[in-house]
Amino acid sequence: MIQMLGYILAFVAVIAIIVTVHEFGHCWVAKKCGVKVLRFSIGLGKPFWSRRVGETEYVLASIPLGGYVRMLDEREGQVADHEVHRAFNRQPVGRRFAIVAAGPLFNFIFAVFAYWLTFIVGVEGARPTVGEVSPQSIAWRAEIRANDTFVSVEGVPVHTWQQTSIQLIDQALERGQVSAGLQNEESGMKVVTLDLSDTRRLLSEGNLLEKLGISPWRYAYEPVFGKLMSGVAKEAGIREGDRVISLDGVPAQSWAQLVRYIQDRPGVPVHLLIERDHRQLEFELIPQADRRDGETVGRVGAYPYVDEAQLKAQRVVVRYNPVDAIPRSFVKTWDVSVLTLKLLWELVRGEASLKNISGPVTIAEYAGISAAIGFSAFVSALAIISISIGILNLLPIPLLDGGHLFYYLIEIIKGSAVSEQIQVMGQRLGIMMLAGLMGLAFYNDIYRLLQ
């Protein structure tokens, strides 16, 4: 319940920030062009807070799924003669184009700022070290093996799994056969070629690394006692750092095996052979019975030993100074925008699964998880969503900014506005298209929840 509440709050925060940025672009440029802005609303539906500043009413509305800027317009109501020149519909087509384009443009500007901020603070991620490789998989055929670490994709340096995945997808859509450089502490440097030409499978629902046959490196919890709580193990004389050699004569291979063995024996004596300071000691533990999820399991009050140095070696923080971060933030925004357009094109071509289209539930989950990870992850999520909103609004779909911009382009070319009849037909088509898109997004969200 608490986790769900966190997702909802993170979702509301993300939407509020992105919508504010988008609508502020429309509002700011409109005022600079001399158009009167009547209302600036964050959210849809009935307002629950409003305040008038000058001639503009600023509103927070009850449905956090969008927003709008209402400008003086003769098509929406009567306009006084002395204010006709400030009506949106009376502006030259160039000004109207600039006002409408400003919303998506500000989304991209915000993404640049967000990436700049994350580069300064530092982006933490997992080092792209391979854990296991499935036999006969794409990665296996490319001779990628356990403990290999990606260092570049098509000559572009990569430092985290996120960077690696994005570069692999981007280059796969570009050329199919992708070259990658990998480093191994034992065998050294090597360059491999991944066959990623099957974009339909690559862009289907699911984890990219799994499709390549790669499992990222994960910490292997050895059968070594770590922190001890007050309980059976501590009372029996077990110490932190004790390594379990065997359980009732059964060789101990992992902490998970140790946990399962003890949980299956509540109240039953378990004989442990322990290694401590190069000596072997014997202990008898009687796991305490504990009710968990309707079942009785054994507990001894111990946590596994964690090698912090080993874990730290697999964490990477990518950080730049404020000056170096400026061009990198522009490049990052450009790369993510281009990749998003490529993926949209693959959706149109039928090469990418429609299950990749997400709705509010998935966005809420993504926002909640990124917020839980930390500041940089949350701001990076904001940048990605802002870019997605910017691109979505630029699509030539009636009702969206892109649809209006398309009409203005026609007006510029032919020298007169598109007829009202065509605009009405376009609005109906736009409603149908958006309804279908939202319906698909909600269906995918519900399907993921059920899964």
Q: Please indicate, yes or no, whether residues 166 and 311 belong to a single structural domain of this protein.
A: yes
Per the domain annotation, does 3 fall within a domain? no
Q: Please indicate, yes or no, whether residues 214 and 132 belong to a single structural domain of this protein.
A: yes
Q: Tell whether the model's pLDDT for residue 317 goes beyond 70.
A: yes
Look up residue 57 and give its two tokens.
Answer: 């009413």
CA dist 323 and 325 (Å) reads 5
List pLDDT tens digits, range 330-365.
Answer: 999 998 898 888 877 877 777 666 666 666 666 666
Cβ-contact 270, 251 below 8 angstroms: no
Q: Tell whether the model's pLDDT for residue 247 goes beyond 80.
A: yes
Look up residue 26 and give its two tokens.
Answer: 């429309």
Look up residue 157 and give its two tokens.
Answer: 């340096």
Q: Please indicate, yes or no, whether residues 233 and 215 belong to a single structural domain of this protein.
A: no
pLDDT for res 101: 94
Domain boundary among 306, 329, 346: 306
List pLDDT tens digits, range 65-79.
Answer: 788 899 998 888 888
Q: Tell whether the model's pLDDT for residue 30 goes beyond 90.
A: yes
Query: Is residue 275 flagged as an active site residue?
Result: no
Q: Which residue has the higher pLDDT, 281 or 175?
A: 281
Per the rule left: phi > 0, alpha: psi between -120 and 50, beta: everything else, 306 is beta
List pLDDT tens digits, range 366-412.
Answer: 667 776 777 888 888 889 889 988 998 898 888 788 888 988 998 88
pLDDT for res 363: 67
Per the domain annotation, does 89 fall within a domain? no
In 3D space, the residue among 254, 257, 246, 305 whose CA is nearest the CA of residue 281 turns out to be 246
Q: Please indicate, yes or no, whether residues 214 and 233 belong to a single structural domain of this protein.
A: no
Q: Please indicate, yes or no, whether residues 213 and 243 belong to a single structural domain of this protein.
A: no
Cβ-contact 128, 181 below 8 angstroms: no
Domain boundary among 289, 318, 347: 318
Q: Please indicate, yes or no, whether residues 128 and 193 belong to a single structural domain of this protein.
A: yes
Catalytic residue among 23, 154, 282, 365: 23
Per the domain annotation, does 194 fall within a domain? yes
CA dist 9 and 429 (Å) reads 34
Residue 245 pLDDT level (bands cut at 50, 70, 90): very high
Per the domain annotation, does 430 fall within a domain? no
pLDDT for res 275: 92
Q: Please indicate, yes or no, whether residues 276 and 213 belong to a single structural domain of this protein.
A: no
Q: Count up the domains in the chain and report the number.
A: 2
Domain boundary among 284, 318, 352: 318
pLDDT for res 96: 92
Q: Tell whether the model's pLDDT for residue 186 goes beyond 90.
A: no
Q: Please indicate, yes or no, whether residues 140 and 255 belong to a single structural domain of this protein.
A: no
List pLDDT tens digits, range 92-103.
Answer: 989 999 999 999
Domain enclosing residue 187, as ranges: 123-219+307-318
Q: Please indicate, yes or no, whether residues 169 and 232 belong to a single structural domain of this protein.
A: no
Q: Please indicate, yes or no, whether residues 298 and 312 belong to a single structural domain of this protein.
A: no
In the chain, the percentage of residues whose pLDDT exceeds 90 is 28
Q: Please indicate, yes or no, whether residues 199 and 311 belong to a single structural domain of this protein.
A: yes
Question: How many Cα atoms occupy the beta-carbon half-sphere of 373 within 13 Å?
Answer: 16
pTM (two decimals): 0.76
Q: Which residue has the higher pLDDT, 109 or 231?
A: 109
What's the mean pLDDT in 260-265?
Answer: 91
Average pLDDT of the chain, as a whole number: 85
pLDDT for res 36: 92
Q: Please indicate, yes or no, whether residues 298 and 192 belong to a single structural domain of this protein.
A: no
Per the domain annotation, does 344 fall within a domain? no
pLDDT for res 104: 93
State the CATH number of the domain containing residue 243.
2.30.42.10
Q: Phi/psi at 111 (nearest 5 deg)? A: -60, -40
CA dist 416 and 138 (Å) reads 56
What's the mean pLDDT in 210-233?
Answer: 88
CA dist 174 and 177 (Å) reads 9
As beta bridge partners, residue 51 has 58
pLDDT for res 38: 92
In the chain, the percentage of residues whose pLDDT exceeds 70 is 91
